[in-house]
Each structure stands twice: as structure tokens, then as C-alpha cells.
Amino acid sequence: MINHRICSVAGLVVAAVALAGCGGGSGSGSTGSSTATGAAGAGPLAHLLPSKIAKSGKIVVGSELAVPPMAFYESDGTTIKGVDYDLANAMGKKLGVKFEFKQFAFAGLQPALKSGKINIIFDVINDTKQREQQLDFVDYVTAGNTLLVKSGNPAGIHSAADLCGHSVATPQGAVQGQVIKAQSKKCTAAGKKSVTLKYYPSAPSARLQVQNGKIDAFIGNTPVLVYLAKTAGSGKVFDAVPLPAKGQYFGIALSKKDTGLRKALDKALAAVMKDGEYTKILKKYGVGVIAMSSPKINAAAS
């Protein structure tokens, strides 16, 4: 399996250029890479941790590590940075444990959680009612969806309504596929051509299709795609087309059985929000607009 550490920020930016499978991976398993953040030891909220976690001194995290600005590798291929990583570091200080990040393809995150390979998923994963049937979520930011099109927008896509007759790519398992299916029904109901939806193993491989002109648009989460449009090839690879949204949540996902860990994460995140570190982290990556005033548990509207 490809070692996805090669997908640093620069790699992701151009991942799209030459490595179709880079980043999220072509399989569903872990690449075997891991990095710990935080420091084990005393923390003001350490008493909230389940005994098993406290004894191990770490919380094992599953993440794609290929989704800037949320969690990704630096250009050296080994240093992790991003909103999720920095928040985990700040929460680790509150709880007195390390957050050990392990990289998985998006499709492999939930199986890894179910099998016990990881304790939590800290990734760009939307909290939805359907997912809440299997998982609990500690929601930490709000975000809508955005379309990513080739620079110059040759297909003339400026809204969801403009997708009729066009093709859209998204990663396997991404909830945005439902958004496109709903739009396609609107198109046919209006007597227009349907939208062709194509799934790919990873976000980078799907975006590569847009860059190469094989697919007209990619749909994903707003903070990720706005950031990518600004940074990929110095802003000359993609254009971002934000879509109106009522507001959706990204959440830290974990097993419904782990109620003690859920409480600890909720309280740690609330403490990081209260002391201002949360706001600093979001502003550092230019995504202050997705901030929440406090964490929410399983807050999906649909």
C-alpha cells in the first residue's frame, strides 16, 4: 500500500497533479503511520478519562491526514499540522494524555473504530442522523458544502442548479453524494439532464479528475475546498463555488459504548473553547467562520 506520508500540503496541492490515490488512499486500511501529540501526565480534566485510556496515556486517533486545513502532512512528509491536530494537542493538555494519530483512507475509518484499532475518528466527518445510528459525535465546527471546479470555471458552474448535465466527483462514503443525487432529481423534474455522480477512493484522486478535465466538479466540505482553491498552484488550479447551507457539523466520532470518553472529549473541547485556544487555532488556518460557541453532542439536523 502507498505510504501516504508523501501527501504533504504541497503533495495535496499537486496531488491532484500526478498521484491519483495519494492522500486518502486507495484502500480501506491504515498506512501504518502514526504521530502522537500532547503530553501524558497530569491534566485538569484527567479524572474524566476512562481507566483504560488513563492507564495507556493516549487516545488513538484515526484520520486521513490528507485534508488541509483540517489535518495534513507538512512538506517534509512527516510533520502533521491542521485544525484537528492542533485541537487534539490542546485537548490533550486538558486531559493529560497524548493523541496518537494513525492514517487511514476515509472508507477505513469506521471499520478501524469498530475493530478497536483506534479510539476516535478526528477527521472531516459530517455528523448525520444516519451515522448517529452507529456512532456518537462531539461536534466541534460547522461547515457547509462547496463545489471545486477547474480554474477559470470552463463548465460555467456557479450554483447547484448549474450542475444539470454535468459530472461531479466525491469520495466513497462522503455524505455529499446525497446532495448531488437530490440536485439530479431536481434537474430531471425540470426537464433537464441529470447529474452524473462518480465516486472515487479518495478526495485527492477525485479532485485529480477535475483538474484533468475528466469531471466537471468535485463536491466537499467548505473549509477544505476554499483553502485548497487558494493554495493549489498558488490559486491557479481550482476555483471554489460555495453552496448555500443551513449549517452542518463536523464531529469527533466514537463508539456509542464509549460514553465516558465522549464526556471527557466534550469537556476538554469546551475548556479549549472557553480559554480562547480554539478561536486562535481556527483563525490560524483562516477558517474562523466555522467556529462554534460550545461543543454539541449528536446535533445533526438530518
Average pLDDT, the chain: 87
Q: Do domains 4-126+253-290 and 145-242 have the same CATH topology?
A: yes
Sign of CA dihedral 163, 204, 116, 83: negative
Q: Which residues pair with 217 in a beta bridge?
A: 149, 168
* pLDDT mean over 36-41: 60
Q: What is the DSSP letter of 194?
A: P
With 0-12 / 13-18 / 19 or more C-beta atoms within 10 angstroms meaning exposed / middle / buried, residue 115 is exposed
Q: Which three cell numbers stand for residue 235?
A: 490559486
Delimit the domains of the chain by residue range: 4-126+253-290, 145-242
With 0-12 / 13-18 / 19 or more C-beta atoms within 10 angstroms meaning exposed / middle / buried, residue 298 is middle
pLDDT in tens, 75-84: 899 999 999 9
Closest by Cα among 71, 76, 50 to 61:
71
Between residues 257 and 68, the one the model is more confident about: 257
Between residues 36 and 212, the one the model is more confident about: 212
Instruction: Kindly state which CATH superfamily the domain 4-126+253-290 is placed in.
Output: Periplasmic binding protein-like II (3.40.190.10)
pLDDT in tens, 178-195: 999 999 999 999 999 999
Q: Determine the pLDDT at residue 286.
A: 80
pTM confidence score: 0.72
pLDDT in tens, 42-60: 789 999 999 999 999 999 9
- The CATH topology of domain 145-242 is D-Maltodextrin-Binding Protein; domain 2 (3.40.190)
